[in-house]
Structure 1
Amino acid sequence: MSHPDPESRPGGASSRERVLGRIRRALADVPRDELPGSVPLDRDYLRVHGTRTPEQTADLLAVHLADYRALVHRCPAGGLPALIATLLAERGARSAVVPDGLPDGWLSAVTGVELVADTLALTARQLDAVDSVVTGCAVAVAETGTIVLDGSAGQGRRRITLVPDHHVCVVLAPGQIVDSIPEAMERLDPARPLTWISGPSATSDIELDRVEGVHGPRTLEVILLDGPAR
């Protein structure tokens, strides 16, 4: 015996009609000429949860990055080239993508690795054959353990940080680290291609089995670089 379609049940409102009716009632007191931006919204929520020194903020970022299974390295400015070279060597990288504008000297100690320039001619298939990518970032958020890239100098196109399996990202500490998302938004241009990264790419199936490297790199290594880097 077939069951009647609830959308066409005689004498009763369909699910669609009930939903639309509730929307109309909720909007009954809204003037017809009112636009979404016409009414100011209260922004009285906390911008930052707690008070921290720059050093404590960097420590919090490191803790939350590690919670997301990123590999975190602390480094003085003078040690950056050697550290990047070591990370690529430990990974066994034979090639690495280099975005335009990466600071001079960051890769000066790298040997035995083909440095692939990020150009428009570089296809996704070619990127898939590259072992690693080295970039800077736009800002890092301590309270959420999030790295944000905006495609500017030293960061490259979004695809170069989504296709290679190993991403080494350099964060200038404390200059590029903020406490909260609201503080990060003030530094970012919403018109730029923003990529928000919280740990290596991962997902879980219905049984909560974690699989990494699904929508991006399987391994994320973040270097918190003390002071300016050249």
Structure 2
Amino acid sequence: MSAREDILQRIRTATADVTEPDPALDVPVEWTYGQPLATADVLADFVEKVEDYKARVVRVAEDGIGAAIVDALVGLDAASAVLPEGLPDAWVQAVTAAGVTVFRDDPELSHAELNLIAAVVTTAAVGMADSGTIALDHGLGQGRRALSLLPDCHVCVVRSEQVVSDVPEGIARLAPALRARRPVTWLSGGSATSDIELSRVEGVHGPRHLWVILVD
């Protein structure tokens, strides 16, 4: 008997008493995908996990968003920024008044042009506390995918009501975009990777620096 035949024989023996062919009926799972975890403080958990990725998180009220964006750009030494369509006019005016060179993506900026812009400012679709992950579905205020990948710094505005407990709950929020086959970009801190010797390299797959503005 070959090893393959031996393995198949063991499987047949182990499943000889199974009479229900549908595994969902044979072993029902009493769990609904996308339900929230029993997290005591979802926002605090989100902040802690995002900061674990060496990203900066600041919490502001609604009327402080424009100033917080300017503070982020100054803190990142970003003299230029691309602002996607759909950002509130007050945010754009705050950035412009601060002396930051503002680029709009209409007509579309080339990859070479985006590579020379220091930062991008976007909103988000959902934040997932358990993993510290932020997802963009590239709706209004988020721009096309290249905008959040090529500039060196990303300032991301996340509203408290957009923060959920974990990834399955986040996927449920993203379902409309996924069904519409829109791209989704996942952010877990600034882009970084390491080789087999654990030499860390930042900025390979996206911005090196992530600055999150959490709106309470």
Please tell me whether residue 104 in structure 1 is matched to residue 89 in structure 2: yes
Please tell me whether residue 178 in structure 1 is matched to residue 164 in structure 2: yes
- Whichever structure has more helix as a proportion of its residues is 2
- Other structure's SS at 1:144 match: coil
Contact 2:83 2:92 in 1 (8 A): no
41 and 97 in structure 1: CA distance in 2 versus 1, 3 angstrom threshold: farther
TM-superposed CA distance for 1:93, in Å, is 1.8
1:219 to 203, 209, 216: 209
2:45 to 60, 65, 88: 60
**In the aligned structure 1, how far is the partner of 2:202 from the partner of 2:30?**
37
1:85 to 70, 80, 84: 70
Task: Answer with 1 or 2: which has the greater Rg.
Answer: 1
Q: Which AA in structure 1 matches 2:66?
A: P
TM-score, normalisation: structure 2: 0.81
TM-superposed CA distance for 1:41, in Å, is 7.5
Deviations 1:162-216 (A, max 9, x none): 000000000011x111112121122112122111111110101112222211110
What runs of 5+ residues in structure 1 fail to find an aligned partner?
1-12
Contact 1:161 1:217 in 2 (8 A): yes
- Other structure's SS at 2:169 match: helix
**In the aligned structure 2, how far is the partner of 1:200 from the partner of 1:43?**
37
Identity %: 44
- Other structure's SS at 2:141 match: coil
**In the aligned structure 1, how far is the partner of 2:189 from the partner of 2:27?**
35
Instruction: Within 5 Å, give how 1:191-230 maps onto structure 2.
Output: 191-226=181-216
Query: 1:50 corresponds to which residue?
Result: 38
- How many residues are paired up? 202
What runs of 5+ residues in structure 2 fail to find an aligned partner?
16-20
144 and 126 in structure 1: CA distance in 2 versus 1, 3 angstrom threshold: same
Report runs of 4+ in structure 1 exceeding 4 Å deviation. none
TM-score, normalisation: structure 1: 0.76
Q: Which AA in structure 1 matches 2:137?
A: D
